[in-house]
């Protein structure tokens, strides 16, 4: 790990201003992903701004009937909240499907959205990776590479990494909005749909945040009802990243919403695919994964997504 | 209690250090882009902690994890370092009443916090019920993962009783029963390379039943 200095501010706008001002600064909240990456020197901040003193750890009700989740609310607190369990069950199910009990006690809402990919070529600093070392190439697309876990859609010739979050997949299905404060003290609202960026030829740019901008809250719109479920398919029964995960909200009339995890650089959902829900899993996945560009090793994910959704529709 | 261990550089530490140096000659990514920047303040911090009920103060390099602060600075070596990346759970200890991976948290971020380690829950003469149950059920072989297993196990029972759901919980609005399935799912962040899982499950079940 590289040496760094440390501070713990108490004001969100001041924290954002400091992050923009100090070269090589980074925010830390739960730290469960950042510390992991700092030990490998994949991340090497020279200054850490600890945001745990900002008081952004409450879940409050909005005037619109939704919930406003402070960025420091832990995964455990969020998934166990009575209002989330009752009105946004897909979110409880998604968070419970991710990580371990110890990690969920520490990991935060904002940090979960900002976690980095678990692509093995990103993690292995002896391998090329355009996300970690722009311009060095993509190890996952090299001859004989292991790409079974990686993305099938929204990827590029530069990068086929997936976004690893389960929580974000449910939040995408719920039309969540990310609230931020900028270094100049302004607040901004970014729909989750626009928060994560596709890699294109700049896979190192993963989200819409500007330098120093700090996530303060994630807002959930008023409950949409329906039967809500989250199904995660993985190589172990617990504590593993998704091969494919499906967030489903199904209304009594057969309409609803579908978002996929484990297949793309961001939670994957489209209005056109949602509209196919009354026509069944095959129609939804054909639309949602239209134009997919899988590798030989991970083409199974397309069939797996369809079968997972089909199984969920039988139960919903 | 045995006397505190005197720490010195061991061969294993040296080898690990030189392996890391070889790797860093490869692609270091953003680290390279940031190499011009330097820390904007002190690289050490004095932290006040309450550890097992006792007020402690340590001055640490900011890079020191909570795990290393416990083991190397406070000589509380009961908490183990396994993977050092949050994957194995050997470093599990309790912070303000919640189990966490102490390897994935910086000591400087715990000023004012209450830490509980395996040393704080029982002694060989007066063991915690979970420690007794692990002994009675042979919930270990080599014992390296055991402090983390025991810390996690105690939290699992508390978390179920507090109504925190898990991946295998059926009805999210009903009371959660302490079943084998619930315990196994909630213990998935603690790896036992000896494979004592079925005995660990038996130990946890015993404590849950005795304290019901």
Tens-digit pLDDT profile for residues B178-209:
999 999 999 999 999 999 999 999 999 999 99
Q: What percent of chain B has pLDDT over 70?
A: 83
CB contact under 8 A, A103 and B167: no
- Separation in Å, CA of B123 to nearest CA in chain A: 24
Nearest CA in chain A to B108: A6
**Residue partners of B5: CB distance under 8 A and separation at least 6:** B75, B77
Supply the pLDDT for residue A13.
98
Contact residues, chain A, for B61 at CB < 8 Å: 3
pLDDT in tens, chain A (316 residues): 999 999 999 999 999 999 999 999 999 999 999 999 999 999 999 999 999 999 999 999 999 999 999 999 999 999 999 999 999 999 999 999 999 999 999 999 999 999 999 999 999 999 999 999 999 999 999 999 999 999 999 999 999 999 999 999 999 999 999 999 999 999 999 999 999 999 999 999 999 999 999 999 999 999 999 999 999 999 999 999 999 999 999 999 999 999 999 999 999 999 999 999 999 999 999 999 999 999 999 999 999 999 999 999 999 7
| Cβ-Cβ contacts under 8 Å, B109 against chain A | 8, 28, 31, 50, 52
In chain B, which residues have their Cβ closer than 8 Å to the Cβ of A8? 109
A99–B contact, CB cutoff 8 A: yes
**B97–chain A Cβ distance below 8 A for any pair:** no
List the domain boundaries for chain B. 42-120, 124-212
Using the Cβ of A123 and the Cβ atoms of chain B, whether some distance falls under 8 Å is answered with no
pLDDT in the model for residue A59: 98
pLDDT of A124 reads 97
Which of A101, A128, A131 has the CB atom closest to B99's CB atom?
Answer: A101
Residue B16 in this model has a pLDDT that exceeds 80: no
List CB contacts of A134: < 8 A, sequence separation 6 or more.
A202, A203, A204
pLDDT of residue B35: 57
Which CATH code of 1.20.1090.10, 1.10.150.120, 3.40.718.10, 2.60.40.10 fits the domain covering B124-212? 1.10.150.120
CATH number of B42-120: 3.10.20.30
- Report the relative pairing of strands B54-61 and B44-51 from DSSP bridges: antiparallel
Beta bridge partners of A196: A207
Counting Cα atoms < 13 Å in the Cβ hemisphere of B32 gives: 12
Show residues of chain A in contact with B29, CB under 8 Å.
42, 125, 129, 131-133
Chain B contact for A47, CB < 8 A? Answer: yes
Asked if the interface predicted TM-score (ipTM) of this complex is over 0.85, the answer is yes
Reported for A251-258, long-range contacts at CB under 8 A and 24+ positions apart, including other chains, are A251/A225, A251/A226, A252/A226, A253/A278, A254/A278, A256/A226, A257/A173, A257/A224, A258/A173, A258/A284, A258/A288, A258/A309
**Alpha carbon distance A213, A230 (integer Å):** 31
**DSSP 8-state class, residue B137:** T
Which tens digits make up the pLDDT trace of B25-76?
Answer: 444 334 444 457 999 999 999 999 999 999 999 999 999 999 999 999 999 9
Instruction: Provide, as residue numbers in chain A, all residues whose Cβ is less than 8 Å from the Cβ of B188.
Output: 100-101, 236-239
**CB distance from B24 to chain A under 8 Å?**
yes
Q: Are the CB atoms for B151 and B157 separated by under 8 Å?
A: no
Tell me how far apart the alpha carbons of residues B25 and B29 are, in angstroms, rounded to a whole number: 11
Interface of B with A in 71-90 (CB under 8 A): 84-86, 89
Distance between CA atoms of residues B85 and A112, nearest Å: 17
Q: Which residue has the tokens 């397309």?
A: A302
Subunit contact B104:A103, Cβ cutoff 8 A: yes
Rounded distance between C-alpha atoms, residue A203 and residue A225, angstroms:
36
Distance from CA of A42 to the nearest CA of B (A): 6
- In the β-sheet with A5-7, what is the strand arrangement from edge to edge? A5-7, A47-50, A25-28
The predicted structure's pLDDT at residue B19: 44
Q: A151: exposed, middle or buried (C-beta count within 10 Å: 0-12, 13-18, 19+)?
A: buried
Average pLDDT, chain B: 89
Contact B70, B93 (CB under 8 A): yes
Q: Is A55 left (phi over 0), alpha (psi -120 to 50) or beta?
A: left
Question: Chain A residue closest to B167 (CA)?
Answer: A96
Say if residues A298 and A155 touch (Cβ distance below 8 Å). no
Q: What is the DSSP letter of B73?
A: I
CB contact under 8 A, B45 and A6: yes
Nearest C-alpha of chain A: how many angstroms from B81?
A: 14
Question: What is the three-class DSSP state of A261?
Answer: strand
**How far is B90 from B147, CA to CA, in rounded Å?**
7
Cα–Cα distance measured from residue A249 to residue A90, given in angstroms and rounded to the nearest whole number = 8
Chain A contact set for B16 (CB, 8 A): none
User: CA–CA separation, B91 vs B137, rounded Å?
Assistant: 22
CA A311 – CA B59 distance, rounded (Å): 55
**A10 at interface of B, judged by CB pairs closer than 8 A:** no
Q: Is B122 on the interface with A (CB under 8 A)?
A: no
- In terms of Cα–Cα distance, which of A93, A99, A79 is closest to A312? A93
Closest CA to B45 of B70, B24, B62, B69: B62
Contact criterion met (CB below 8 Å) for A53 and A74: no
Residues whose CB is less than 8 angstroms from the CB of residue A185 and which lie 6 or more positions away in sequence, other chains included: A13, A16, A17
Q: Which residue has the tokens 């795990």?
A: B67
**Nearest residue of chain B to residue A122 (CA atoms):** B29
Question: Which of A268, A210, A202 minimizes the C-alpha distance to A19?
Answer: A210
What per-residue confidence (pLDDT) applies to B15? 45
Distance from CA of B47 to the nearest CA of A (A): 12
The predicted structure's pLDDT at residue B36: 76
Q: B108 vs chain A: nearest CA distance in angstroms?
A: 8
The shortest CB-CB distance from A50 to any of B42, B109, B165 is to B109
pLDDT at position A303: 98
B150 chain-A contacts, CB cut-off 8 A = none
Q: How many CB pairs under 8 A join A and B?
A: 175
Task: Give yes or no for A32 touching B (CB within 8 A).
Answer: yes
Name the residue facing B165 among A7, A31, A79 (closest C-beta).
A79
A272 CA: distance to closest CA in chain B (Å): 30
Contacts of B172 in chain A (CB under 8 A): 85-86, 89, 92
The whole-angstrom separation of Cα B199 and Cα B18 is 39
A107: which chain B residues are within 8 Å (Cβ-Cβ)? Answer: none
Q: Provide the 10 A C-beta neighbour count for residue A136.
A: 15
Nearest to B142 by CA among B93, B196, B101: B196
Reported pTM = 0.94
Closest alpha carbon to A170 in A76, A98, A238: A98
Token pair recorded at residue A259? 């978002």
| Contact yes or no for B119/B52 (Cβ under 8 A) | yes
């Amino acid at each position: 790990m590289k040496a760094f200095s440390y501070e713990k501010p108490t004001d969100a706008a001041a924290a954002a201003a400091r992050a923009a001002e100090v070269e090589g600064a980074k925010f830390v909240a739960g730290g469960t992903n950042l510390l992991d990456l700092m030990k490998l020197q994949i991340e090497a901040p020279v200054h850490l701004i600890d945001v745990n003193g900002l008081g952004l750890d409450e879940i409050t009700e909005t005037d619109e009937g939704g919930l406003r989740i402070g960025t420091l609310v832990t995964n455990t607190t969020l998934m166990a909240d009575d209002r989330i369990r009752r009105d946004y069950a897909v979110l409880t199910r998604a968070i419970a499907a991710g990580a371990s009990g110890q990690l969920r006690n520490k990991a935060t809402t904002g940090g979960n959205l900002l976690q980095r990919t678990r692509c093995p070529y990103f993690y292995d600093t002896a391998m090329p990776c355009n996300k970690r070392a722009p311009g060095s190439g993509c190890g996952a697309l090299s001859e004989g590479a292991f790409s079974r876990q990686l993305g099938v859609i929204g990827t590029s010739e530069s990068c086929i990494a997936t976004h690893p979050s389960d929580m974000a997949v449910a939040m995408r299905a719920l039309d969540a909005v990310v609230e931020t404060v900028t270094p100049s003290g302004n607040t901004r609202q970014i729909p989750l749909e626009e928060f994560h960026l596709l890699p294109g030829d700049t896979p190192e740019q993963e989200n819409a945040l500007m330098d120093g901008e700090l996530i303060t809250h994630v807002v959930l719109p008023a409950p949409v009802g329906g039967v809500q479920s989250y199904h995660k398919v993985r190589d172990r029964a617990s504590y593993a990243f998704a091969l494919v995960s499906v967030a489903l909200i199904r209304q009594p009339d057969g309409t609803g919403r579908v978002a996929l995890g484990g297949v793309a650089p961001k939670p994957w959902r489209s209005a056109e695919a949602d509209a196919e829900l009354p026509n069944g899993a095959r129609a939804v996945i054909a639309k949602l994964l239209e134009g997919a560009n899988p590798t030989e090793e991970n083409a199974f994910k397309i069939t797996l997504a369809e079968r997972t959704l089909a199984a969920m529709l039988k139960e919903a | 209690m045995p006397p505190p261990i005197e720490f010195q550089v061991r061969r294993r530490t040296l080898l690990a250090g030189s392996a890391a140096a070889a790797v860093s000659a490869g692609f270091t990514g953003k680290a390279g882009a940031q190499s011009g920047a330097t820390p904007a303040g002190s690289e050490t911090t004095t932290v006040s902690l309450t550890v097992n009920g006792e007020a402690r103060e340590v001055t640490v390099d900011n890079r020191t994890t909570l795990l290393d602060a416990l083991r190397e600075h406070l000589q509380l070596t009961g908490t183990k370092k396994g993977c050092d990346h949050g994957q194995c759970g050997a470093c599990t200890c309790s912070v303000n009443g919640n189990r966490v991976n102490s390897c994935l948290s910086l000591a400087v971020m715990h000023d004012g916090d209450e830490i509980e380690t395996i040393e704080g829950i029982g002694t060989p003469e007066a063991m915690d019920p979970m420690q007794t149950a692990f002994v009675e059920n042979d919930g270990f072989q080599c014992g390296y993962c055991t402090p983390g297993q025991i810390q996690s196990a105690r939290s699992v029972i508390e978390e179920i009783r507090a109504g925190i759901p898990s991946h295998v919980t059926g009805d999210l609005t009903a009371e959660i029963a302490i079943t084998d399935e619930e315990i196994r799912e909630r213990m998935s962040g603690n790896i036992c390379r000896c494979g004592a899982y079925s005995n660990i499950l038996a130990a946890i079940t015993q404590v849950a039943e005795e304290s019901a």
